[in-house]
């Protein structure tokens, strides 16, 4: 029985290693694709602000035409839902503001700028619009790639979400004509801590015990923008668990065989002794 189970675990190890290889190749391809875009678009930019603006313009230029073609279309199977990484967002932009923010986030990360994915609040509704913030010249500023929008202050620097929120009537004059004015920067959150009940609230409480109210500035989503790399890590962990389990099963099987052999030898020895004693008698 253990031998059959061990064979199954060897097979699962092969499957897990295959998944690691597939996802790693996809992750590397995506990284190289993003690197090419960053180098061609922002390679000559001097400051962080110039890089951010150039990548914002490029994201809008690449994705907005695709949204006109694929907007409103449903996702196509498991490939388009569970494995929707940056390359897929680049291809169809079906996530609308989410796709634009995802792509720009990857480009900014590759350019060396920390980011926060941001969910805007409209009235009582969270997530009415997705945008992002990037650390530019030492401070986080707001960027909206769906509308190719970065708010400029009087001194020529970019505005933060808080600055736009506190002076929305002024900054609203900078939005394009097709911008929905109910996206009025009422409030923002960087992580939906209720998305996975019990688990995520528990993580938030643990983090809050160490960093206090600063937990509200934590953005988890940027850690998983390269979806293929995330799945590669998961598959690698699965492979390691399978290897450890297989080793345990093999050792258990050997121990049982050794015990069975010892019992058999003991039985043979006992039978031989009894036969010898009977012959003597």
Predicted confidence (pLDDT) per residue in 9-40, tens digit = 889 999 999 999 999 999 999 999 999 999 99
Question: For residue 186, what are the domain limits?
Answer: 46-225
Nearest Cα residue to 145 out of 103, 84, 86: 103
In the predicted model, what is the mean pLDDT of residues 145-173?
96
**pLDDT(111) > 90:** yes
- 272 occurs within a structural domain: no
* Predicted pLDDT of residue 71: 86
What digits encode the pLDDT tens for the residues 181-197? 999 999 999 999 999 99
Look at residue 37 in the predicted model and tell me its pLDDT. 97
Residue 39 to residue 110: CA distance in whole angstroms: 10
Contact criterion met (CB below 8 Å) for 225 and 84: no
Quick one: DSSP state of residue 152? B
Selection from 188, 205, 246, 213 nearest residue 14 by Cα: 246
Looking at the structure, do residues 84 and 203 belong to the same domain, yes or no? yes
Same-domain status, 211 and 125: yes
pLDDT given for residue 43 in this prediction: 86
DSSP letter assigned to residue 138: T
When pLDDT is cut at 50, 70 and 90, the band that residue 44 belongs to is confident
Residue 279 lies in a domain: no
- Across 247-273, average pLDDT: 64
What is the gyration radius of the CA atoms in the chain, in angstroms? Answer: 29
Q: Does 233 share its domain with 221? A: no
Q: Does 89 share its domain with 190?
A: yes
Q: Is residue 3 part of a domain?
A: yes
Instruction: Give pLDDT, residue 46.
Output: 82
Write down how long the chain is.
281
For residue 103, which of 38, 188, 195 has the smallest C-alpha distance? 38
What is the per-residue pLDDT for 278?
A: 54
Q: In this predicted structure, what is the pLDDT of residue 6?
A: 76
Give 205's pLDDT tier (boundaries 50, 70, 90): very high
Based on the fold, state whether residues 172 and 201 are members of the same structural domain: yes
Answer yes or no: is 267 within a domain.
no
Same domain, 220 and 252: no
In-domain check, residue 72:
yes
Q: Does 186 fall in a domain?
A: yes
- Coil, strand or helix: which one is 20? helix
One domain, residues 243 and 134: no
Burial of residue 11, with CB atoms counted within 10 A of its CB: 0-12 exposed, 13-18 middle, 19 or more buried: exposed
Domain assignment of residue 281, yes or no: no
What CATH code is carried by the domain that includes residue 170?
Answer: 3.10.620
Contact 148, 57 (CB under 8 A): yes
User: What is d(CA 26, CA 39) in angstroms, rounded to the nearest whole number?
Assistant: 20
What are the strands of the beta sheet with 149-150, ordered from one edge?
A: 149-150, 139-144, 125-136, 115-122, 187-189
Q: What is the pLDDT of residues 53-89, one digit of tens each?
A: 999 999 999 999 998 899 889 999 888 889 999 999 9
Tokens of 239: 């492979």
Mark whether 137 and 40 lie in a shared domain. no
The mean of the pLDDT values for the chain is 90
pLDDT band at 258 (very low <50, low <70, confident <90, very high): low
At 146, give phi and psi (nearest 5°).
-60, -35
Q: Looking at the 3D structure of the chain, how many domains does it have?
A: 2
Question: In this structure, what DSSP letter does residue 158 have?
Answer: B
67 and 194 inside one domain: yes
210 pLDDT higher than 80: yes
Mean pLDDT of 158-169: 97
Answer yes or no: do 4 and 97 share one domain. Answer: no
- Find all residues with CB under 8 Å of 123, minimum gap 6, and list them: 182, 186
Domain assignment of residue 193, yes or no: yes
The pLDDT value given to residue 199: 94
In this structure, the answer to whether residues 156 and 218 fall within a common structural domain is: yes
21 and 136 together in one domain: no
């Amino acid at each position: 029985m253990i031998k059959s189970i061990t064979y199954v675990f060897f097979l699962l190890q092969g499957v897990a290693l295959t998944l690691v290889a597939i996802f790693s190749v996809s992750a590397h391809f995506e990284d190289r694709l993003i690197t090419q875009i960053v180098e061609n678009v922002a390679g000559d930019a001097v400051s962080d602000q110039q890089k951010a603006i150039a990548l914002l313009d490029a994201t809008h230029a690449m994705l907005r035409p695709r949204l006109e073609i694929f907007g409103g279309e449903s996702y196509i199977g498991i490939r388009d839902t569970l494995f929707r990484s940056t390359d897929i967002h680049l291809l169809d932009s079906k996530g609308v503001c989410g796709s634009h923010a995802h792509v720009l986030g990857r480009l900014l990360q590759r350019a060396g700028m920390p980011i926060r994915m941001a969910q805007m609040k409209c009235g009582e509704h969270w997530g009415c619009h997705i945008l992002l913030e990037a650390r530019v010249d030492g401070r986080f500023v707001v960027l909206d790639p769906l509308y190719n929008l970065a708010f400029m202050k009087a001194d020529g620097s970019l505005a933060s979400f808080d600055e736009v929120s506190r002076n929305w009537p002024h900054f609203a004059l900078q939005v394009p004509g097709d911008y929905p004015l109910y996206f009025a920067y009422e409030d923002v959150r960087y992580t939906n801590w209720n998305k996975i009940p019990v688990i995520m609230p528990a993580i938030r409480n643990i983090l809050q015990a160490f960093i206090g109210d600063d937990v509200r500035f934590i953005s988890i989503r940027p850690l998983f923008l390269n979806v293929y790399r995330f799945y590669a890590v998961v598959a690698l962990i699965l492979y390691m668990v399978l290897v450890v389990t297989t080793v345990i099963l093999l050792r258990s099987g050997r121990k049982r065989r050794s015990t069975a052999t010892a019992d058999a030898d003991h039985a043979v020895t006992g039978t031989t002794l009894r036969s010898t004693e009977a012959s003597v008698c």
